[in-house]
A and B are shown apart, each in its own frame.
Chain A
């Protein structure tokens, strides 16, 4: 299969080039054969240790107005963590998380970079920082075997927001396993001051299983090559910026998001729902290149800096506006803004209520719980015959998931309803009295006056679009929660009622 250098081979060569060579032979272990020139230049600079942070947090702005020698210690670790509910993945990380630690220096700083590859790593790694001017962006000098450490130095000649990533062949796999992060090189006088700064990076994960398929998922090279990612997420997992992990700000804050795309493949159409970017430093450069932007394009292996002032409280949703990614694959995060309302600007409801199903935090807790219980169930079956209790618990959690997706909006989270408007389900005599009627209400809805626990209600409940199993589960949940002990509803009960009431 001999043929002259083709485009494919040239690409492979590029990555092979980036892979670099091992550290120089050491005169004595632990000593670096420093090139005399470099250390002489840096000798007069004050030395400081780089403050590294984990996403979504950013190190504080640099106050000094002169260069320094900044020492960065970054550890590469391969760790198993949650990718989504019930789904785990072996991430290859800079600093233990995806994205890797955020590094903040100033233009002109002399950076002494230590890359430490944890002994438990399977494979060698290196780093290519887009801020480095030099072979491979540092990759050639940082190729490190498991249990070893490399050091190289560079001067941050160019200001801007730069991606860094592992450049060891096969690069798509290393990056697809989460080996990317960002380094901010502040211009001489920094970027304009803001009140809140956040660090968000988008990336894909190519799992052998479908989106949501539980278990420890291996990497799938065929999907990676075809760029068919089951997961496209912010900050390394589905829901990483949702619920109690949402970004937080207050009304009138000037917010800045340092947003990058680790990739490995897809670009991002970055948008914050409900906000307009006052300023965009396009592609992470130093020019405030555009103002009043709704959605800005971020290249794979690139970045952007978006500044905006938040005027009204609420939840603002960060998305990749290629919406299948936001909706189906996890490219969604939240910024929760608290403070006084300003109805002139906006008078609407919390965005939380709009995102039901997988996006709702309580439902995902229930989902997580369900996944944990499923695993327990398998174990229990193998170990002991106490299956019945677990099965019931699973049904209750599944039912709770359905409840939180549809019913709670009116009947409330603890089944108490809304006085005079929506009847309670907790300790409801109406519910207890007739199981078949309860099933029919769920399937067909109801209207007209009823009395529940001595109070009169006259409202309309819409029919619920649920499967037989979902109806059975949610009814079982309702009938066994909040002090209710009204028995179970089975899928066959539901089927029967559905047939009868056709």
Chain B
């Protein structure tokens, strides 16, 4: 009897010790890469200068385009970028935002227009899978100069923070978000921001046109 009692106590104690000993997983912090340069055949040949302090391409998160391919932001380096954030099932603002981008593109001088990349990044990482993005591209008739990207919620959050875009998901699964078109130069630095919808895009167009080639 005494032995049984002892066994019960000892086993409970051992059980408790075992429970407390489980490991807390540790992860490495993602390093903001000040010196990352990824050579790509899509990028025009440039010397491998380090990214500047202001370049958004210091974000070394992994992105996926609507073809399912993985993309690093540094592949955008070398040409000006017009970037905005959206979600495919947006009822009101995002179609207007895309239209504003098209108007801005059209307002550029011809020689500049061909050199500019238009990038849309989704907030809705859950539902805007590459096929959903593809469907959006087709619905909106977006040509090859447009890149549609998705990633992890954390990476999207970081990019939104850097652009200054505010967004919040409501109970219906819709996103309330600010409407912002950002112009990045070839180095990925923010040079201009155009806020709101259906506004006058000529100032933004002028900024893009005046960027060094």
Point out the residue from A25, A27, A35 that lies within 8 Å of B164, measured CB to CB.
A25
B190 touches A25 (CB 8 A): yes
Contact A33:B54 (CB < 8 A) given known A24-B164, A25-B164: no
Hey, what's the 0/1 contact readout for B102-129 against A, CB within 8 Å counting as 1? 0000000000000000000000000000
B192 touches A33 (CB 8 A): yes
A36 touches B193 (CB 8 A): no
Question: Which residues of A from 11 to 30 have beta carbons under 8 Å from B?
Answer: 22, 24-28
Q: Contacts of A28 on B, CB cut-off 8 Å?
A: 54, 189
Point out the residue from A24, A25, A36 that lies within 8 Å of B206, measured CB to CB.
A36
A25 touches B189 (CB 8 A): no
Interface residues on B, range: 10 to 19
Q: Contacts of A35 on B, CB cut-off 8 Å?
A: 203
Docked CA distance A25–B189 (Å): 11
Docked CA distance A25–B162 (Å): 8
Overall SS of chain A's interface: loop
Docked CA distance A317–B206 (Å): 61
- Tell me, rounded to whole Å, the shortest Cβ–Cβ distance linking A265 to chain B: 33
Contact A27:B54 (CB < 8 A) given known A33-B192, A33-B193: yes
In the complex, the chain A residue whose C-beta lies closest to that of B164 is: A25
User: Does B191 sit at the interface, judged by CB under 8 A?
Assistant: yes
**Count of interface residues, chain A, beta-carbon cutoff 8 Å:** 10
Q: Contacts of B182 on A, CB cut-off 8 Å?
A: 25
Docked CA distance A404–B206 (Å): 75
B163 touches A27 (CB 8 A): no
Docked CA distance A36–B202 (Å): 11
Point out the residue from B190, B203, B206 that lies within 8 Å of A27, measured CB to CB.
B190
Docked CA distance A473–B98 (Å): 82
Question: Which residues of B from 146 to 165 have beta carbons under 8 Å from A?
Answer: 162-164
Docked CA distance A97–B193 (Å): 37
Q: Contacts of A37 on B, CB cut-off 8 Å?
A: 203
Q: Contacts of A26 on B, CB cut-off 8 Å?
A: 190
Q: Contacts of A33 on B, CB cut-off 8 Å?
A: 191-193
Residue among A24, A27, A35, A37 with most chain B CB within 10 A: A27
In the complex, the chain A residue whose C-beta lies closest to that of B191 is: A27
Q: Contacts of A36 on B, CB cut-off 8 Å?
A: 203, 206
Contact A25:B163 (CB < 8 A) given known A33-B192, A33-B193: yes
In the complex, the chain B residue whose C-beta lies closest to that of A24 is: B193
Question: Which residues of A from 250 to 269 have beta carbons under 8 Å from B?
Answer: none
Q: Contacts of B164 on A, CB cut-off 8 Å?
A: 22, 24-25
Give 16 A-B pairs besides A25-B182, A25-B190 with Cβ atoms closer than 8 angstroms.
A24-B193, A25-B162, A25-B163, A25-B164, A25-B193, A26-B190, A27-B54, A27-B189, A27-B191, A28-B54, A28-B189, A33-B193, A35-B203, A36-B203, A36-B206, A37-B203
Contacts A/B (CB < 8 Å), 23 sampled: A22-B164, A24-B164, A24-B193, A25-B162, A25-B163, A25-B164, A25-B182, A25-B190, A25-B193, A26-B190, A27-B54, A27-B189, A27-B190, A27-B191, A28-B54, A28-B189, A33-B191, A33-B192, A33-B193, A35-B203, A36-B203, A36-B206, A37-B203
Among all A-B residue pairs, the 7 with the closest Cβ atoms? A25-B164, A25-B190, A27-B190, A27-B191, A28-B54, A27-B189, A24-B193
- List the interface of chain B (C-beta within 8 A of A): 54, 162-164, 182, 189-193, 203, 206
